Structure 1
Amino acid sequence: MTRQLVASPDGATQVFIIIGYPVSQVKAPQLMNTAFAQSGANATMVPIEVGPAQAPALIEALKSAANVGGFLATIPHKFELLKHADGAGPVATAAGCANALRREPDGRWSAENFDGIGFVTGLLGSGEPIEGKTVFVYGAGGAGSSIAAGVLKANAACVHVSDLSTTRAQDLCERLDRLWPGKVKHAVAGEHRDADIVVNATPVGLNEADLLPFSLEGLNPNALVAEIIMKPAETRLLLEAHRRGFRTLTGMRMLEPQIDLYRRFFRIPDPDVRSDSLHAIAGRGTTP
């Protein structure tokens, strides 16, 4: 069996935190702890469930602990995480949010967002081109913002963004339009039918009783339907899309490429990792 945690954490163990609300669905701790073990690093990642009202104080408190090396963030804390950084990378700056925060040697904190990079890598790795494609993103939250920035950087023809919060969607579109003029549009729900790639970057689908985040009726028959949710691995949206013959991309395909990016971001030594060791924990993430 693959070792997933340091054998016996001690005072020198570097602790990394992933925060979310909820957090029970996250797969990053298992994957990151495997990467730490394979790297021989005295490090571990721990998930913590914390609500939006309590998250700012928790982040600041944990930043004060000398053996906390960094954070990952999932729903709904990616915008909050960026506020606790002294500096940010280009994707986090473009997206306006971060999913990773690390302590620098001088004590400052740096942020970046790897959701978009992971999504693009997963898509290209599945043989799906992005250049010249029209991408419709449902959700202007942390993941949706990063995915929109990521596909634009990968030369998508245009990106349409829809969110229940008109203000949040407009803010994202204005921010991205400054970097990619004329390639971003604020859209309303239902305007995705001619898109080449439609992404559910909302939490709709986490619960078994959830309805579909958008309708598949009238969707371009050659479109790809993508999901960011990782648990369940096959959401109702993906099952229905697959039943109707659409190509699909699961949330795990977005996460898997990020594990090595997180490892490097946190300055963990290069491991001798076989790709199947991560897949054994996460499970494959594609459907034809």
Structure 2
Amino acid sequence: MTATAPSPQPSISGSTRLYAVVGDPVAQVQSPGLLNPLFADQGLDAVLVPVEVRPDDLEQVIRGLQRIGNLDGIFVTVPHKADAARLADRHSRTVEIAGTSNVLRRETDGRWFAENFDGAGFVAGLARAGHEIRGSRVALAGAGGAGSAIAAALLTAGATRIAVTDPDRPKLDALVGRLARYWPGRVHAVAEPALNDSDLAVNATPLGLRSSDPLPFPPEALAPGAAVADIIMKPHETPLLRQAAALGHHVHHGIDMLKGQVEFYCEFFGLRAPGTG
């Protein structure tokens, strides 16, 4: 058997530009595995590292990172996306609508700009997999950081109805209120997932990160032909997706959302998109 050559490690120097991805936990994050090879392929002296931050420490850590002179960007994952948006100086329209951010960029004037590509990446991944969004009815579990951006992106892409559930009723009502200003009559807060008449059911909650987690919704309640998407990236095959596939539903994996975001991140940070030479 021939030994497999180890993957090249990033070369860290005094001129290395830094990026951080903050979350709690961070063991599941996949962005370093996608973006560090991209930096290497483009000959960039840059590295993205995971940083585990408890919610009570988030502001102190973000403020500290923002003061590091060679740190150009901060990626944000669960559960910090709403709080991170408030720690930026400027916000995109998507962040204003969703109320959450998944990436911050240092501007030339030293201020920090917040954007959220969760929704755009999720929709791009669905489109690449051949799922039709325009005219679809969606059941969405989760009104948090990713769920809010996904809801806005699905509505922008032409979903006719999104029924959103979340145990945090004030957070749910706030999201529906923001979305309704832009898409009146197309988004609804519901106590239970509206599964039996949905074309697509989305888990945008953390349920599935741990093997002991309950399912976010029962896939057996979906109509035949409905698709099920999960934003959990690790494990790749979540219990929800395994059960949905066993029932004959089309399934869409969490890593596809991140893959769908890579081109947006490249444009955001002034990098070449993969495959563009």
Which residue of 2 is the match for residue 188 of structure 1?
Answer: 191
Which residue of 1 is the match for residue 26 of structure 2?
Answer: 23
Which of these residues, 53, 58, 71, is aligned with residue 50 of structure 1?
A: 53
- Deviation of 1:47 after TM superposition, in Å, equals 0.1
- Deviation of 1:132 after TM superposition, in Å, equals 0.5
Matches within 5 A, 1:24-39: 24-39=27-42
- Deviation of 1:23 after TM superposition, in Å, equals 0.4
- For structure 2, the 5+ residue unaligned runs are none
Q: Secondary structure at the match of 1:176?
A: helix
* Worse-superposed segment, 184-193 or 44-53: 184-193
- Deviation of 1:193 after TM superposition, in Å, equals 2.1
Which residue of 1 is the match for residue 227 of structure 2?
Answer: 224
Letter in 1 for 2:46: A
Which of these residues, 239, 248, 252, is aligned with residue 242 of structure 2?
A: 239
- Deviation of 1:5 after TM superposition, in Å, equals 4.5
Letter in 2 for 1:254: M
Which of these residues, 93, 106, 110, is aligned with residue 103 of structure 1?
A: 106
Which residue of 2 is the match for residue 128 of structure 1?
Answer: 131
Q: Relative contact order: is structure 1 or structure 2 higher (C-alpha 8 Å, sep ≥ 6)?
A: 1
- Deviation of 1:213 after TM superposition, in Å, equals 1.1
Listed one character per residue, the Cα deviations across residues 254-279 of structure 1 (whole Å, up to 9, x for unaligned) are 110112211221223455469xxxxx
- Deviation of 1:192 after TM superposition, in Å, equals 2.4
- Cα 1:246–1:270 change in 2 (3 A) is closer
Say if 2:44 is the partner of 1:41.
yes
In structure 1, what is the Cα distance between the partners aligned to 2:26 and 2:8?
19
- Deviation of 1:210 after TM superposition, in Å, equals 1.6
Whether the 8 Å CA contact 2:262–2:273 is kept in 1: the answer is no
Aligned-residue identity in percent: 42
- Deviation of 1:2 after TM superposition, in Å, equals 8.4
TM-score, normalised by the number of residues in structure 1: 0.91
Which residue of 2 is the match for residue 157 of structure 1?
Answer: 160
Whether the 8 Å CA contact 2:200–2:226 is kept in 1: the answer is yes
In structure 2, what is the Cα distance between the partners aligned to 1:213 and 1:270?
34
- Cα 1:78–1:242 change in 2 (3 A) is same
- For structure 1, the 5+ residue unaligned runs are 275-288
- RMSD, aligned α-carbons: 1.5
Count of aligned residue pairs for this structure pair: 273
Matches within 5 A, 1:169-208: 169-208=172-211
Listed one character per residue, the Cα deviations across residues 180-231 of structure 1 (whole Å, up to 9, x for unaligned) are 1111101112432211110000011111122211112331112100000000
Which of these residues, 137, 142, 150, is aligned with residue 140 of structure 2?
A: 137
